[in-house]
Structure 1
Amino acid sequence: MTHDQLLVDVKDGVATLTLNRPERKNALDLPMRDGLDDAIRRIRRDRDIRAVILRGEGDNFCSGGDVRGMSPRSAEEGRNRIDDLHPFVSALVDLDRPVIAAVDGVAYGAGFSLALAADFVIATPRARFCMPFIKIGLVPDCGAFYTLPRVVGLSRAKDLVFTAREIGADEAQRMGAVFEIQSPERLCARAVQIAQSLARAPSTAFGLSKRALNMSLGSDLRTLLEIESVAQGIACSTEAHRDAVQRFMEKLPAHFQWAAE
């Protein structure tokens, strides 16, 4: 399936979304944004899709917003442009299925933000991450004010936003923004391996856990204990839980096994 600048491939329950403007380092333009929005909406409705991979065509993930398409505008126009992004960003961050970003080359600006919206970021040694917004008189977007401090901590988030410096895969991993570093040749295969592994996780338990974790830093203990109780009550009633208990009692291997290398 295609949608202008976005390629969508679904195989064995895993949807791979490929940003497809390699000549512009997969810069995010309006058709690509609309394609992502449409793809995430479709995925939310399709329960047969159990995991998502985000990647860029060619040697780069995403160089951010297409600066050539930007022009000085009024505050209202600027706000409307960003407001149009928010439904897609919210849908991606809150998606109740695992999302893996496979990052090669640049992940700049909105590209960095897009990677941060994933649950796991797999990067190559040549991956480069940057929040360059301040260099062009803008602020981080695509949800980075939410995701970046949660992933790397407030102090490091200020470092990356205020200095607009580029970091490599090793430093990004030390900060917690990168889960694994893989060779360019191994990147996509490892992303698929992780996605297929997580696709076998009990979907209800995964979705409930992800939602609670996303709420955790903005909630107090009492609220999270209530969320825990409600979520566990739902999870206990699922067929996946009953089957897992039965397999445990019969000393059979669990259906879900992490894809360790």
Structure 2
Amino acid sequence: MNAAKTPLRHATLVIDDGIAVFTHQRPEARNALSPELLEDYADMLDAVERDSSVRALVLMGSGGSFCAGGDLKSLKAAQAQPPDAIRRRVMNAHAWMQRLRNLEMPVIAAVDGAAIGAGFSIALAADFIVASSRALFSLSFAKVGLVPDLGAAYILPRLVGLATAKELVLSARRIDANEAKRLGIVYAIHAPDRLAEETTAFARRFVAGPREAMGFSKRLLNMSFESPYALLAELEGATQALASSLPYHAASIAAFLDGQSAPYDWDRQPGV
């Protein structure tokens, strides 16, 4: 299959063989979040959601950094804005951040170098963070007198527990890839020159999976911390009924009954 490459403003989107790779393209600014890059995220999500061939999304940065957080020039300009304008800007970003977090496919952040401030927040919105050995993470907001944004205050305590989340936010300290893995933030660590290849290989393992059922499962898990059991039971019943009616389920059952391998079997795929 030929790769489809879409140049955006400060990013690129490449869709190839079921995998979408979205790359921040501001290496001269360590891929800091410009207004244009924020718009690129919304456009990327539009493209990925309407392309039924996409089974996994990879987020990455160019030039040895994932994302250094908010662009300092933009933050300086924001000081002249009234508080309500800043609030609207943050809420507009949350519109696509919620779409990213709930995207009905695996989302993998390939973090090389800095994932600082809002860059760390974006990585946390992924289902898996695959890091290079030189990756650095920091919720650095306290250093500039701000509070965590783009959902970090929601996601981080669910990953590491409330006390550790408070320590990371209030200290604003940096953690390396090894500590992030010990805390349960990072899924795997690779050498910098192998990160892109290894992350793509990891994403490829999901391509044969049931897109709809995996999407339903992800949404249920994302809702599990704040939903009562009765609601999740109702949603489980509804999504199970829908998944049972889809061709993927019928094909999988037929394969089992015929003594064939399942179309999606993680344990039998080559390891990464």
Report the more deviating stretch, 246-255 or 211-220: 246-255
1:54 partnered with 2:74: no
Which residue, out of 40, 44, 53, partners 1:39?
44
8 A Cα contact 1:115 1:121, kept in partner:
yes
Q: Does 1:63 align with 2:68?
A: yes
Gaps of 5+ in 1: none
Aligned residues: 261
1:186 aligns with 2:194: yes
Q: What is the CA deviation profile of residues 24-73 of structure 1, one whole-angstrom value per residue up to 9, with x for unaligned ones?
A: 10001001110111111111111111111000001111000101221213
State how far apart, in whole Å, the 2-side matches of 1:122 and 1:103 are.
6
- State whether structure 2 residue 131 is matched by structure 1 residue 117: no
Q: What's the offset of the Cα at 1:119?
A: 0.8
Taking the TM superposition and a 5 Å limit, the aligned residue runs for 1:102-251 are 102-251=110-259
How far is 1:257 from its partner?
3.1
Contact preservation (8 Å) 1:98, 1:199: no
Is residue 2:10 matched to residue 1:5?
A: yes
Q: 1:20 aligns with which of 22, 25, 34?
A: 25
CA distance in 2, matches of 1:57, 1:67: 19
Partner of 2:3: none
Please say which of residues 126-135 and 233-242 is displaced more in the overlay: 233-242
The alpha carbon displacement at 1:74 in A equals 2.3
| CA displacement 1:223-259 (0-9 Å, x = unmatched) | 2222222221111111111111111122211212335
Cα distance per residue 1:157-210 (max 9 Å; x no partner): 111111101001111111111000111121111111111111211011101000
Work out the CA distance in 2 between the residues paired with 1:189 and 1:251: 34
Aligned with 2:209: secondary structure?
Answer: coil
Distance 1:208 1:246 in 2: 22
Please point out which of 85, 95, 110 is paired with 1:87.
95
3-state SS in 1 of match to 2:109? strand
Contact 1:110 1:141 in 2 (8 A): yes
Within 1, Cα distance between the matches of 2:175 and 2:202?
A: 25
User: In 1, distance between residues paired with 2:219 and 2:41?
Assistant: 21
Q: Match for residue 260 of structure 2?
A: 252
Show the counterpart of 2:35: 30
Contact 1:25 1:62 in 2 (8 A): yes
List gaps (5 residues or longer) in structure 2: 1-5
State the distance in 2 between where 1:55 and 1:213 align.
24
Q: Which runs of 4+ in 1 moved over 2 A?
A: 257-261
Cα deviation code 1:11-32 (max 9, x no counterpart): 1011100000001100010011
